[in-house]
Amino acid sequence: MSKIHEKVLSKHKSEAERQVAASRHREPEASIIYNTKHTSKLNVLKSIADAMIVGDESNQNDPNFKAMKRDSFWVTQLHFIVFKILLISVYFVFGIFRYFQYQYNKMRLRVLNIIYNPTSTPQLIRQDVLKLSKVPKRLAAILDMKPIGEVGGGVKGIVNDASEIVCWTVSAGIKHLMLYDFDGVLKTNVQSLRGEIAEKLSLYFGPTDTPNFAIRIPHLNKVYYNGADDENYNAKSEKVIIEISLLSNRDGRETIVDLTRTMSELCLSHDLELSDITMKLIDTELTQLVGHEPDLLLYFGPALDLQGFPPWHIRLTEFHWEADNDQVSYLVFIRGLQKYSTCKINVGK
């Protein structure tokens, strides 16, 4: 085939393609787009918007479209009603279940409070503890300060609760106690706490056999002995029966941050090598700053809430609380000791 023949055929082919393209019907927006007189983007957008409006109007005039839209509306409404009824039913069933659960828990707590009632008698508390296979060496408790208008509320209420726990702990033979409250109310009112503890211990054990105690505030590095002034008390000659540590939110994450910042500053000043920073070093420093890890943590609220308790010191700690309980009671104390006596700690093994 000659070159001329090839060119002619190519012209015929291109002419045929032009005729087919010209015979095609373009949509309104396409005619605007391909029109050389309207080349601006704004005109193109206007033409597309007009085409969409025209299409919507044509669909609205279509009876099939109207029927489909009406059916879709009723189906949507039906789904909404069904799911709303289902959600209300779930809430209603859960509300009934929670009501009976709450009443059951309250009734159970009343019965157990009658069973476990020491009536300020150390001998009865000691008898309860002697039945246990093991007792924690270190005990911690989280306390909440109730509103002033409630029974047992305000500073006096939380101080009274703390002194009761101290008496139970001494009667159980536990020598270390941590009392934690988020805002540090006990730290601020340490003098009132000292007097209240001395008064309660005198009521439990008698004025002549009142045990000696020490109140330690790790954050301030201060120690208070008994209800007397520090300078009038000889800690070496008198044996301390129980050591009470007062903790707050300041002794938790903020202490860890302060320790981290201090170690980084020492590394920058070359007073501490980076290789010297180990888990053992951190554990030792936090133990000195806050105290040892408790074996058992008691919470006297309706549901467990650690409230920022020092996280480093609860790695192997057992927790105990009573559902729907809202008061500091001997029931929670002794049942926590019972739970601890039956638990098995594997220490990661």
pLDDT for res 45: 67
Q: Could you give the maximum distance between any two Cα atoms of the chain, in Å?
A: 132
pLDDT tens for the 349 residues of the chain, in order: 543 344 334 544 455 455 545 554 444 444 544 454 445 666 666 666 665 555 555 555 566 655 666 667 777 888 889 999 999 999 999 999 999 999 999 999 999 988 888 777 899 999 999 999 999 999 999 999 988 888 888 999 999 999 999 999 999 999 999 999 999 999 999 999 999 999 999 999 988 888 999 999 998 889 998 855 544 555 544 689 999 999 999 998 888 898 889 888 888 888 888 888 888 888 888 988 899 999 999 999 898 889 989 988 788 899 999 999 989 999 999 999 999 999 887 665 5
Q: What is the pLDDT of residue 219?
A: 84
Is residue 168 within 8 A of residue 330, CB to CB? The reply is yes
Q: Quote the pLDDT of residue 309.
A: 92
pLDDT score of 5: 40
Confidence (pTM):
0.74
Please tell me the predicted confidence (pLDDT) of residue 231.
46
Give which of 217, 222, 213 is closest to 240, Cα–Cα. 213
Structural domains in the chain, sorted by start? 3-61 (no CATH), 136-252+290-342 (3.40.1180.10)
- pLDDT computed for residue 316 by the predictor: 86
